[in-house]
Amino acid sequence: MTTINEIPEEELKKSREIFKEFIIKKKLRVTNQRLAIFEAAFNQVEHFTADDLLEKSRKIDRTISRATVYRTLPILTESSLLKEIDIGKDFKYYLLNYNQKTEHAQVICLDCDKIHELDAPFMEWYADSIAQKLGLIPESQRLQVSARCQKLSEQGQCPNLDKRAV
């Protein structure tokens, strides 16, 4: 079982290009702050919050403000580089979306807070069946499973927690 802790170099380059081109296409400006926030976001593969991103960005550029992070996040999500997810807490999580996969299921470990993104093809079928029953046209669907770590309850330790450097 291999865990990837870093986005591959070529994916990073590609994403950086997508980001810059998106900014230019929107007639916005490629600023140092925006680039630094991009680098901070793509520095690793775990999910993060706006606050995490601020902290990570500041390690690259000490002057970055919270406001700029909040103003840059929509650019990153609109360009499909990040996926925003709301698991019912009062802040949002952000996930890298560099593989551009459309995975519609999230499994959230209540013990270590890790968010596993999974493919759940049956949800397309389910959405279609709903369409017929309710006279609605499905636009998006998301399955969220909250779970506990089995190893934690059996052995008293969660392997994901152990892996965390922080």
Give the residues lining the site for its own copies (CB under 8 A): 86, 88, 90, 105, 107, 109-110, 116, 118, 120, 122-123, 126-127, 130-131, 134-151, 153, 159
Taking a C-beta distance cutoff of 8 angstroms, is the pair 76, 82 a contact? yes
Nearer to DNA, 9 or 90 (CB): 90
| Partner from its own copies, DNA, none binding residue 71, C-beta < 5-8 Å depending on class | DNA
* Distance, CA of 164 to CA of 166 (rounded, Å): 6
Q: Does 17 bind DNA (CB under 7 A)?
A: no
User: Which tokens belong to 96?
Assistant: 């890298």
| Partner from DNA, its own copies, none binding residue 156, C-beta < 5-8 Å depending on class | none
* Distance, CA of 128 to CA of 150 (rounded, Å): 34
Q: Which residues pair with residue 48 across a beta bridge?
A: 94
Nearer to its own copies, 13 or 116 (CB): 116
User: Which tokens belong to 42?
Assistant: 């793509």
Question: Closest Cα partner for 111 from 54, 50, 163?
Answer: 163
Nearer to its own copies, 100 or 129 (CB): 129
Q: Does 32 bind DNA (CB under 7 A)?
A: yes
Q: Is the dihedral of CA 145, 147, 151, 154 positive or negative?
A: negative
| Partner from DNA, its own copies, none binding residue 33, C-beta < 5-8 Å depending on class | DNA
Residues from 48 through 87 that contact DNA (CB under 7 A): 49-51, 61, 63-68, 70-73
For the CA atoms of the chain, what is the radius of gyration? Answer: 18
Which one among 3, 4, 10, 29 touches DNA, defined by CB under 7 A? Answer: 29
* Distance, CA of 87 to CA of 1 (rounded, Å): 27
Residues lying near DNA in the complex (CB under 7 A) are found at 23-24, 27-34, 49-51, 61, 63-68, 70-73, 90-92
